[in-house]
């Protein structure tokens, strides 16, 4: 058993920014449809949750910076990631109209590429973007679970000592949340902030990563179009062929094509004045550019 999005039967168009849309959907942020009241309230709650937990981590780190620097760094390191993710989340929300327009435009351009090898190429890039972004999503969730398991392990190892109402992440909340009956809710509240960080991080960074892959596909599709258009055109076919062995009319036309293709130059020879009639007469009887050069020099 494996997720449906990894199967070949999964619709290809659903892969477009799949992880970004899924992760932001878990946070209540939708780009391609109008948000409902519930999704807006859920988004505000998640934003406030992450902001509040950042403040709690900072309070923990600041209070232990002198007495236990190791514990302080255990709070400051996740804090740096959470603050960065909070900033990215705010930027994506403020630019949600532009992001929705960009997603729509990418979808329109990629849906037009349905000829020949482009379908297989598009399928490869679509699935690669989904697979790698979902890998980061999974690893981030495992990281949050590891913090929770570490907390449970500490509780088990110190079960014979007075119980410490610690959070899975190094945070300091008001005292009422560090004792029963509100401690379980505060514990879940702290744990959820870790998942909010994961969802927002994967959604924002996954968006830019997927965008680069989709643009790579579109540029390769453009290159395939240019190759198909320019394939019949042999830019040097006339120059490299034995054109001087053809009849007079063909030689004159090829000669004019060669002259137009080359950049104009000025030949400064004191004893010879180049002119088109002279060039034509030489070509007519010699039929060779080498002979023409020897005549000039």
Task: Report the pLDDT value the prediction gives residue 261, as an integer from 0 to 100.
Answer: 61
Task: Report the pLDDT value the prediction gives residue 282, as an integer from 0 to 100.
Answer: 52
Task: Report the pLDDT value the prediction gives residue 272, as an integer from 0 to 100.
Answer: 47
Check pLDDT > 70 for residue 114: yes
3-class SS at 214? helix
> Percent of the chain having pLDDT more than 90?
0
Distance from C-alpha of 44 to C-alpha of 172, rounded to nearest angstrom: 22
Check pLDDT > 50 for residue 270: no
pLDDT, average across residues 280-284: 56
Distance from C-alpha of 223 to C-alpha of 219, rounded to nearest angstrom: 6
Task: Report the pLDDT value the prediction gives residue 98, as an integer from 0 to 100.
Answer: 85
- Which residues sit opposite 272 in a β-bridge? 269
* Residue owning tokens 């130059």: 265
- CA 173, 179, 185, 188 torsion-angle sign: positive
- CA 210, 214, 216, 217 torsion-angle sign: positive
Distance from C-alpha of 56 to C-alpha of 187, rounded to nearest angstrom: 13
Q: Are 130 and 4 in contact, with CB atoms under 8 Å apart? A: no
Phi-psi region of 273 (alpha: psi -120 to 50; beta: other; left: phi over 0): beta
Mean pLDDT in the chain?
A: 76
Check pLDDT > 80 for residue 194: yes
Find, among 103, 100, 41, 81, the residue nearest to 201 by Cα: 81
Task: Report the pLDDT value the prediction gives residue 271, as an integer from 0 to 100.
Answer: 47
Distance from C-alpha of 211 to C-alpha of 260, rounded to nearest angstrom: 43
């Amino acid at each position: 058993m494996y997720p449906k999005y990894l199967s070949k039967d999964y619709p290809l168009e659903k892969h477009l920014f799949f992880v970004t849309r899924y992760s932001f959907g878990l946070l209540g942020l939708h780009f391609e449809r109008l948000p409902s009241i519930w999704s807006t309230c859920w988004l505000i709650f998640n934003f406030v949750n992450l902001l509040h937990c950042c403040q709690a981590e900072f309070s923990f780190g600041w209070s232990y910076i002198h007495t236990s620097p190791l514990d302080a760094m255990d709070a400051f390191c996740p804090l740096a990631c959470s603050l960065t993710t909070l900033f990215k989340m705010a930027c994506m929300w403020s630019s949600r109209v532009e992001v929705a327009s960009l997603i729509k435009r990418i979808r329109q351009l990629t849906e037009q590429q349905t000829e020949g090898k482009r379908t297989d190429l598009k399928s490869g890039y679509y699935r690669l973007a989904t697979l790698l972004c979902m890998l980061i999503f999974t690893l981030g969730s495992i990281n949050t679970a590891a913090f929770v398991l570490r907390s449970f392990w500490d509780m088990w190892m110190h079960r014979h000592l007075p119980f410490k109402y610690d959070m899975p992440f190094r945070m300091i909340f008001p005292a009422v949340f560090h004792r029963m009956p509100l401690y379980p809710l505060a514990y879940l509240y702290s744990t959820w902030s870790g998942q909010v960080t994961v969802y927002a991080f994967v959604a924002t960074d996954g968006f830019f990563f997927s965008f680069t892959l989709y643009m790579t596909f579109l540029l390769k599709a453009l290159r395939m179009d240019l190759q198909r258009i320019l394939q019949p055109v042999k830019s040097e076919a006339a120059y490299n062929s034995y054109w001087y062995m053809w009849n007079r009319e063909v030689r004159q036309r090829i000669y004019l094509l060669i002259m137009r293709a080359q950049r104009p130059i000025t030949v400064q020879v004191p004893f010879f004045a180049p002119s088109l009639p002279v060039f034509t007469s030489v070509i007519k009887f010699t039929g060779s550019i080498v002979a023409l050069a020897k005549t000039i020099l």
